[in-house]
Structure 1
Amino acid sequence: MARPRQFDEDEVLRAVRDQFWDAGYAGTSLQDLMRVSGLGKGSLYAAFGDKHELFLRALRGYVAAIDRGLRRSVESAPRAVDALRAFVLAPVGDDDGASARRGCLLANTTAELASADPVVAAAARKAYDDTTAVLAQAVARAQDEGDVPASADPVGTARALLAAQQGVTYLGRTGMDVRTLEATARSLADQLLPAGAAG
């Protein structure tokens, strides 16, 4: 009879996710995964598959958490435009710029792997499509609330907001000063979501 697993899968996946996030896919070795997970090769692969499968599990968990967070932000915002602005400013969420320099696991992964890995490319497309759909709903709500022009295309605006946020994310990876990065993000938000522009 097989022995029950003596580890917390979610905890292992968080540790593995952070390793991939900090070092990238190519920069993470099996030894790194064993070290951060506390598991031997046999246990790690038996539970999660090979390195690629383990990476995909970690990435899917990350994407699901980001999706839940964005939906909560939109649903709880007093006005939808506030959630949309917060989305663009998300990469500069701390004072020291650490999160900006770390970037977004999905964005980092897309840059590193999508051109050569069709599974990762498909996962990235789906994640960005899902984000666009949530943002488009928020844009439509912001139009109803009078904060975004009625003439704006919700899907087009959502894609522009996503592109702006990802651009800020990439600039953050260069080590740009966090104040400059924040000013850039605010400028993008102001241009894409002009205040009081109903009608």
Structure 2
Amino acid sequence: MARPRSFDEKQVLTAVRDQFWDAGYAATSLEDLMRVSGLGKGSLYAAFGDKRRLFLRVLRGYTDDSHGHLRRALAETPRALDALRALLEAPTGATTRRGCLMANSTCELGNADPDVLAHAHRTYETSTALIGDCVARAQREGDLPAGADPIETARALLAAQQGLLFMSRTGMDAAALSATARSLAAQLLPDPAGD
């Protein structure tokens, strides 16, 4: 009879995720994973499989969490336009220096790993759909021009947000990032009255 696991799976996956997020996939060794998880090689592999399977699992968990957060943030903000502006302003804080694990992983592995590339595609399509729904709500609320395509606008907003996130990783000053976010918001989220 197998022994019950004597570790907190969620805690281990969080520690492993943070290791991959900080160092990247290639630079993370088995020793790194054993150190941050507190598990030996046999326990780590028995519970989660090899390094690649473990990485894909934490990447899926990260994107599931991110989509849950995005869904709540877009739905719970009273005015959709304010939620969309907040989406652009999110990467301007000091806590974004790590970037987005999905974007980092796509840059590192997208050309070499078809599973990462397929996951990235699904992730960005889901994000686009969630943002597109918020754009459509802003149109219904009269805060965005009715004639704009919600999905095209959502893709532009997502590209701008990811660009700001990348720029934040370079160490760009928070004030400059905030000014850039405001400029992008003015261009991508125009007032329907033209004010």
Counterparts of 1:10 and 1:66 in 2: how far apart (Å)?
Answer: 16
1:184 is matched with which residue: 162, 180, 195? 180
RMSD: 1.1
The within-5 A match list for 1:53-92 is 53-92=53-92
1:49 paired with 2:39, answer: no
Q: 1:19 aligns to what?
A: 19
Q: 1:4 aligns to what?
A: 4
Q: 1:133 aligns to what?
A: 129
1:166 paired with 2:155, answer: no
Q: Which amino acid aligns with 2:46?
A: A
- Residue by residue over 1:108-161, the C-alpha shift from the partner in whole angstroms, topping out at 9 and shown as x without a partner, is 111111011100000000000000000111000000001110010000000000
Counterparts of 1:66 and 1:189 in 2: how far apart (Å)?
Answer: 22
1:143 is matched with which residue: 139, 148, 154? 139
Q: 2:96 aligns to what?
A: 100
Counterparts of 1:91 and 1:60 in 2: how far apart (Å)?
Answer: 21
What's the CA shift for 1:91? 1.2
Structure 1 length-normalised TM: 0.94
- Consecutive unaligned residues of structure 1, counting only runs of 5 or more, are none
What's the CA shift for 1:196? 4.8
Counterparts of 2:137 and 2:79 in 1: how far apart (Å)?
Answer: 8
- Consecutive unaligned residues of structure 2, counting only runs of 5 or more, are none
3-state DSSP of counterpart to 1:102: coil
- Structure 1 stretches of 4+ with a deviation exceeding 4 A read none
Indicate conservation of the 8 Å contact 1:146/1:197, yes or no.
no
